Structure 1
Amino acid sequence: PARPGPPAKPAPPGHPVLTLPAPTGPHRVGVVDLHIVDRTRPDPVAGPGRFHELMISVWYPARETARYPLVPWMPAVTLQPYLTDVGFDPGAFASPLSAGHDSAPVLRAGGRLPVVLYSHGAHSHRADNTVVVQELASHGYAVITIAHTYDTYVAFPDGRVLTPSRSQPMGPPAFAADARSVLDAVEDLAAGHNPDADGKQLPDGLATALDPHRIGMVGWSKGGTATVYTMLADDRVAAGLSFDGPMAPVITADLDRPVMMMTAVFTREDDPDVAGFWPHLTGWRRYAHLEGAEHTCFSDAESLIPQISTIVGMSEQDVESYIGTLDPAEGLHIQQAYPLAFFEEQLRGRHSRLLDGPSPAFPDVKFES
């Protein structure tokens, strides 16, 4: 979700380039954008005879990456309207580069790749948790980030650029419908088919690389809620991780598959929807609260806002309004460690003591039963 930034200032000389922390896994990372058209979902917003379209990015462990360029966090065509909408001068700094090499060949170290879907927050974009996404990919996961059309900043192959619609609100159930379209695309890829609507050439090795029987999902904010809605609607998702999801509209159905909730603002103590949802988790479950965190601590803002603050002159109070008082270095380590531990346990069967309770390495992660 967008938050207002400080007053816009002119771009400083040289257009400073932001950076993201490098992933810690043993593998290089590849990424490819795909255009998905779900012909089972008519799109009345687009017009008669049109079907719902999505852009997704598939991140994966890669090989022979040297001749494949790194892709930016966001392309300029979507970064500029996004920065304008959140109150920053779009010329003040350049997009950071991700760790993803564009369409590099897939590394198959052994067997198929477990899959994790990612769902972004309201009025946001699919790059919002790139730190988490590329971390998982560097450890051997295929991670598919979903751009939820009409509630995101997205560019399509034909040149169309869409920004979040204020007149077409999309709730978590609509996000979940998008996720189910992507689950179908995962099955297509796993079967060796190309789900791209335009027949885009796939990276070498991507067809048949994904494991359709080991799928998890993670989401931030509305995307966290959408993760739960997707699991309730579709048992292809084996496990879900919510980053500060509001859990509204109210969820009254039981869910017996593993769910981990990590919270900052939308807590059981302060939010009745979150408190009411917790008893409906009847299987493996964990609840961890980040002390001193703000809602955006779970996003790439944890890395980018401290850098932006020095470029545009944000006060310490401005910075804390975005990312709270949690040490950003710890916040980034949390983003890299806990999602990996969760999916290692749930999709690969590798138990992590990090999920058993408090860890001296992460003193601000408070587990509650």
Structure 2
Amino acid sequence: MRRTRSTHRRFGALACAVVTGAVVAAVPTTAATAPPRLDLPPPTGPHAVGVTDLHLVDHARRDPWVPGAVRELVVTVRYPARRGGAPAPFLPPAAAEVVARADAARLGLDADLLDYRFATHSVPGAAALGGDRPVVLYSPGLGESRAFGTALTEQLAAEGYVVVALDHTHEPPVVEFPDGRLARRALPPSSAEVLKEVLATRVRDTRFVLDRLQVLAAGGNPDAGGRRPPPGLGRALDLSRVGMFGHSAGGFTAGETMLSDRRVDVGADLDGSMAYAQSTGDFGRVAEEGLDRPFLLMSAGDHSAASDPSWQRFLANHRGWLRQLHLPAGEHFSYTDHQVLLPRLGLDPAVTAPAVGTVDPARSVAAQRAYLTAFFDRHLRHRPQRLFDGPSDRYPEVEFR
């Protein structure tokens, strides 16, 4: 089943299902003969990458999805680090098993064939390199784990950024806390009102994470369990330079957060609509009001401002620097690690194309990494970037709109 543009019309294409279901729901049962080898391309920046998770508890806020619970988050922080050490897994063991079972059921595979514990390129607890590092936040699509932005967040960390990836608890299939607890998906049935609460919760999550990063930068320890941060991490944070990007609903979240919190200086939306319901013109505030700071729109397949009324409204109201980039041979999930991982499964390309397109996976990831790095370098480090002057011979997969 090809993903049609109607799936983009509500909440960044992910209003009605967990992402893994949306990606592979139409894949027929297949008999795999050998476990697929899953991995991600290594980052190409000059620095090694360290990683740590922070468990953050907002005691002042009730969880909107689980009665009687306070809001708890787990974020992954990647940063330039000293070299050495064994890399972290893509997902921790219990979470990897839950996601593998869900994906395997839809793929018609034995769950043992989907091992999401494969090694990343980030070393847990590695000492942070010195220097004031701009901070970039990452928000995933609705129903998607923060882990599926690893290829992009590792690249930014290798380029010298501290990158903080959020899980919006009870949206993805599972969030595994450091003490081993598993928080499962708990969203009510989709409606415009539920989606508005989802976005409002995501913005509150993001602003709370920024508050806790300020504690870390000041020498404190925001981790709810008191686990010590990696050496030098707090001193590396330069919270006077903050960017944010996200895929699908995460891109919508970036824009809405910028509207609510001026600590976020620049933002990027990777193929996410800015509407709760396109058909009724129920757009987010960011579309209705625009922004006065730099913003990057990246689209794929048949989605762009030409087909998305919420983007048209945003463009009419935006008052800052802006570029529109388009990946015509990609698709919605090209802006996640599915771009690389789905083709690794050895399925018929006709099956995977509706999710990740026909673009070469390595070329797609390389282009995304280059443009995102150039965007943040230009606006957070104030380094001129010719890459935004027009189409590039190095990345012919990307069109300027």
Task: Work out whether the TM-score is over 0.5.
Answer: yes
Deviation at 1:134, TM superposition (A): 0.3
- Alignment deviations for residues 309-331 of structure 1 (CA, whole Å, 9 cap, x no partner): x2xxx112012122112222220
Report what 2:13 is aligned to. none
* 1:91 match: secondary structure: helix
Report what 2:92 is aligned to. 75
CA contact (8 A) 2:299 2:326 kept: yes
Deviation at 1:361, TM superposition (A): 1.2
Report what 1:101 is aligned to. 123
- 1:154 counterpart (151, 169, 175): 175
Q: Which has the higher contact order (CA 8 A, sep 6+)?
A: 2
Please list every run of 5 or more consecutive structure 2 residues that lacks an aligned counterpart in the other structure: 1-18, 277-282
Deviation at 1:177, TM superposition (A): 1.3
Whether 2:303 is the aligned partner of 1:286: answer no
Deviation at 1:76, TM superposition (A): 2.9
- Alignment deviations for residues 169-210 of structure 1 (CA, whole Å, 9 cap, x no partner): 553232111111111112111111111011111111112220
Report what 1:260 is aligned to. 296
Whether 2:75 is the aligned partner of 1:39: answer no
CA contact (8 A) 1:10 1:91 kept: no
Report what 2:15 is aligned to. none
Whether 2:101 is the aligned partner of 1:84: answer yes
- 1:345 counterpart (375, 378, 396): 378
Report what 1:59 is aligned to. 78
Whether 2:61 is the aligned partner of 1:25: answer no
The letter for the 2-side match of 1:131 is A
Matches within 5 A, 1:91-240: 91-95=112-116, 96-108=118-130, 111-152=131-172, 153-167=174-188, 169=194, 171-240=198-267
d(CA) in 2 for partners of 1:18, 1:350: 35
Q: Which protein has the bigger helix share?
A: 2
d(CA) in 2 for partners of 1:149, 1:93: 23
* 2:120 match: secondary structure: strand
d(CA) in 2 for partners of 1:165, 1:73: 23
Deviation at 1:245, TM superposition (A): 1.0
d(CA) in 1 for partners of 2:354, 2:102: 17
The letter for the 1-side match of 2:77 is V
d(CA) in 1 for partners of 2:114, 2:31: 10
User: Quick check: 323-332 or 214-223, which moved more?
Assistant: 323-332
* 2:143 match: secondary structure: coil
Whether 2:339 is the aligned partner of 1:302: answer yes
Q: 1:84 to 1:166 in 2, by over 3 A?
A: farther
Deviation at 1:10, TM superposition (A): 6.1
d(CA) in 1 for partners of 2:220, 2:66: 27
d(CA) in 2 for partners of 1:47, 1:78: 23
CA contact (8 A) 1:9 1:92 kept: no
d(CA) in 1 for partners of 2:38, 2:261: 38
CA contact (8 A) 1:179 1:230 kept: yes
The letter for the 1-side match of 2:220 is H
Deviation at 1:12, TM superposition (A): 4.4
* 2:232 match: secondary structure: coil
d(CA) in 2 for partners of 1:221, 1:232: 17
d(CA) in 2 for partners of 1:115, 1:10: 44
Q: TM-score, normalised by structure 2?
A: 0.85
Task: Give the share of equivalent positions with the same residue, in percent.
Answer: 38
CA contact (8 A) 1:10 1:92 kept: no
* 2:210 match: secondary structure: helix
Matches within 5 A, 1:326-345: 326-345=359-378
CA contact (8 A) 2:65 2:170 kept: no
Runs of 4 or more above 6 Å deviation:
none
The letter for the 1-side match of 2:87 is L
Deviation at 1:157, TM superposition (A): 2.3
Quote the RMSD (CA, aligned, Å): 1.7
- Alignment deviations for residues 214-239 of structure 1 (CA, whole Å, 9 cap, x no partner): 00001000000000000001000000
